[in-house]
Amino acid sequence: MQIAGIQKLTLLDFPGRCAATIFTPGCNLRCPFCHNAPLVEEEGIAVKSDGSNMEGLVSEEWLLDFLSGRFGRLTGLAVTGGEPLMQQGIKELFIKVRALGFGIKLDTNGTYPEKLKELLDLGLVDYVAMDVKNSWASYPKTIGIEEDKAQILISKIKESMDILKEHKAHNPSFDFEFRSTIVKELHTAEDIEEMAKAVGPVGHYFLQGFKDSGEVLRTGYSAHSNDTMKVLLEIAKKYSPGVQLRGID
């Protein structure tokens, strides 16, 4: 499994845990407002033919040694991207991390429901954060994918949403969140309403304000004002009562 980088300590990425975060390269979506644009493309992050890592990659062996040395001080590993479920060997790495006694949090865009279900059924993931990009009608432009291909992905995303809800119903110790990054040029009040209907009354749903990291995939995007975000929150609450704002004063 390819690991493009590591944040050795986070108190924010994994709710309730002191964790490290790893970043995986490559994504099957092209959201124009993506703040991790350098991770979207896998070119230049390949592994050499002799199996040694290119400069900048973190080897699995190094990661496992790092976690072993911090057991007790760290209790979790957050895995983000890119899209981690694109990675070959993710299940095998999670088994090794779990054997060390660490909890695992996974970030995903929801387009790999079969892989998601397998990891959940094996008890390898404690917390999932899944992006809900927009209303179904506005999904294609939001993920930068042509209409026909986007519709196939949307069906997979809906399946992943159902998988998470069902798994939570049967496994109370498991938890998940849906989250939506709200962009002024892409999200209307009507979109927020439709998104909240799709999410429904789950425990954790967050509307996040867009922030330009300086490494977005395309320029020209901006955030709604805090006051507008509060109005959008009230719209979402009609269908998803637990929804909250994140990153908004």
Where in the chain are the domains?
A: 5-246
Per the document, the length of the chain is: 249
- Per-residue pLDDT averaged across 183-202, rounded? 97
Percentage of residues in the chain having pLDDT higher than 90:
82
The string of pLDDT tens digits covering residues 13-69 is: 999 999 999 999 999 999 999 988 778 865 434 433 333 344 467 899 999 999 999
Of 114 and 211, the one with more pLDDT: 114
Q: What is the pLDDT of residue 141?
A: 96
Closest CA to 176 of 131, 208, 128: 128
- Per-residue pLDDT averaged across 137-161, rounded? 97
Instruction: Tell me which CATH code domain 5-246 carries.
Output: 3.20.20.70
- Per-residue pLDDT averaged across 168-177, rounded? 96
Split at pLDDT 50, 70, 90, the class of 129 is very high
- Per-residue pLDDT averaged across 187-203, rounded? 97
Q: What is the pLDDT of residue 57?
A: 78
Q: What is the pLDDT of residue 179?
A: 98
Q: What is the pLDDT of residue 36?
A: 80
Q: What is the pLDDT of residue 105?
A: 98
- For 53, 183, 204, 225, 247, the CA distances from 238, given in Å and listed in that order, are 50, 21, 15, 21, 21
| Rounded Cα–Cα distance for residues 100 and 180 (Å) | 32
Q: What is the pLDDT of residue 22?
A: 94
Q: What is the pLDDT of residue 55?
A: 47
Taking all residues of the chain, what is their mean pLDDT, rounded to a whole number?
Answer: 92
Q: What is the pLDDT of residue 56?
A: 60
Tokens of 217: 């995939």
